[in-house]
Each structure stands twice: as C-alpha cells, then as structure tokens.
Amino acid sequence: MKKNLRVYALLHAPFEGLGCISHWVNKNGYQLHEVCLWKNANLPAAESSDMLIIMGGPMSVHDEKKYPWLYYEKKCIEEFIQHEKHVLGICLGAQLIAHVLGSRVYPNQYKEIGWFPVYLLEAAQNTLLHFFPGEFITFHWHGDTFDLPRGAVHVAKSEACRHQAFTYGRQVIALQFHPEMTQVSMQEMLKEGDAELVSAKYVQSAETILAHLHYADAQNALLHSLLDKWVANFLGR
C-alpha cells in the first residue's frame, strides 16, 4: 500500500485544532485535509480516504438542533467504521464514536479540566496502547462521558472519569483525554474556555494549568508513538 496516506480531520471549533497531530502528519509527508465543520465544509467519503481523525469541541453529541452538521458527521463516522478505515477520536471525537456505536453519552459526575493522571487497564496489553505507562499525566477538558460500546476494549480510566479510552476492532481508537495539546494550543483553549475554570474537585485554575505545561511534550511524544504504531498496523494489513 502506498505510504502517502490521506488523512481527514474533523474540526468542531476554531480554537480546538490538531495540536501535535499536524506536526506528525507533516513530518511523515501525508496528505492532510482539515474539515472545519462550523463552515459547512464537505465531509469526506470513506472510499477516497485512509484515516479519519475527530477532534474535540464545546458542543454535545446531542446538539443537532443547534449544530445540524452533527447529524451528517455521525453518518460520516459510521461509514468510516463500516468500511474498516482507521478512525481516531479525541474528547468529543471519542464521544461521537461511542454514540455511533450505540452507546449512551451523558454528563459525567465531575467535570475534568486540567492535568490529571490516567491509569492503563490490563486489557490495554492486547491493544495498540500496550506501550503506554501504567500511569501517566495528561490534559483533560470535558464534562460528558459515555458508556463503553459493545465489542469495545476498555483501555484506560481516571479518578474522575471511568472511560478514558477504548479501542474497537483493529482500526478504531477513542481517547477522552487530550494528548494532542501543545503549549501553544493550550493557550488558545484557556483563552476561549476560561469561564469553565470554576473551583471544583477536578477543575484546575488557569495558573495551575500553565504552571504544568511541561507535561505537554511527554504526552505529545506518547501520541506520536501511538500514531506511528497505528500507521504500521494500517500498512501491515
């Protein structure tokens, strides 16, 4: 199979971009097509694509009345999964994958915003995330969660959120946390979402988040390694 992979990224808001994923795509010389859904951009067809990456956003998977394009986005994700394309979802993207696979998406008991540890589960040893540390600190910004889809492998959890990651088959990876966040993209996120940084058990202040930006490099490296293994799995099919 050719190595010039066609990567489509679904973006939900101007301030939630690809972060370090764009660095990875450019480094490898893949074709990157960013689909800005708030501009009513055309969604990709699975037949003419290799990978689909679904990023985060401030909306809920249930907000179709406010964001009508969500309906078509879900159909797009469903089509990619049915065609056994490689699909990665981050935060809202993970929730959309869970929703498309028939699971319930709903408000979590706690909002989780800031740098908090994630714990890998034993089942992860049989997935592409097998090399992740048993415990690692990464960035979170979410209020919703999801039930584990039938047939999925539960890979990771945190204290505030039971379902932090799952895989589905060989091609689908869903991450509730934000390993793509760079120091630059973090600043943009904080600027847009500062109203959510209220005092709560699992919500850190902007000052605390900014004081721990050094965690970004380690989580970016983890994500790059995961993407490399993902591509190797893709090319080896």
Predicted TM-score (pTM) of this structure: 0.96
Please, which residues bridge with residue 10 across strands?
35, 54
DSSP state, 158?
A: -
Q: Which two tokens stand for residue 73?
A: 């986005």
Q: Write the pLDDT tens digit of every residue in 46-90.
A: 999 999 999 999 999 999 999 999 999 999 999 999 999 999 999
Average pLDDT over residues 147-154: 98
How confident is the model over 171-198, as pLDDT tens digits?
A: 999 999 999 999 999 988 999 989 999 9
201: which residues sit within 8 A by CB, 6+ positions away?
Answer: 110, 160
Tell me the C-alpha distance between 78 and 84, whole Å. Answer: 10
- The closest alpha carbon to 221, from 3, 52, 10, 23, belongs to 23
State the pairing for strand pair 86-90/51-54: parallel
Cα–Cα distances (Å) from 6 to 3, 38, 44, 73, 93, in that order, read 9, 22, 10, 18, 19
pLDDT tens column, 196-216? 999 999 999 999 999 999 999
> Tokens 């708030």, residue?
38
Are 154 and 69 contacting, i.e. CB atoms less than 8 angstroms apart? no
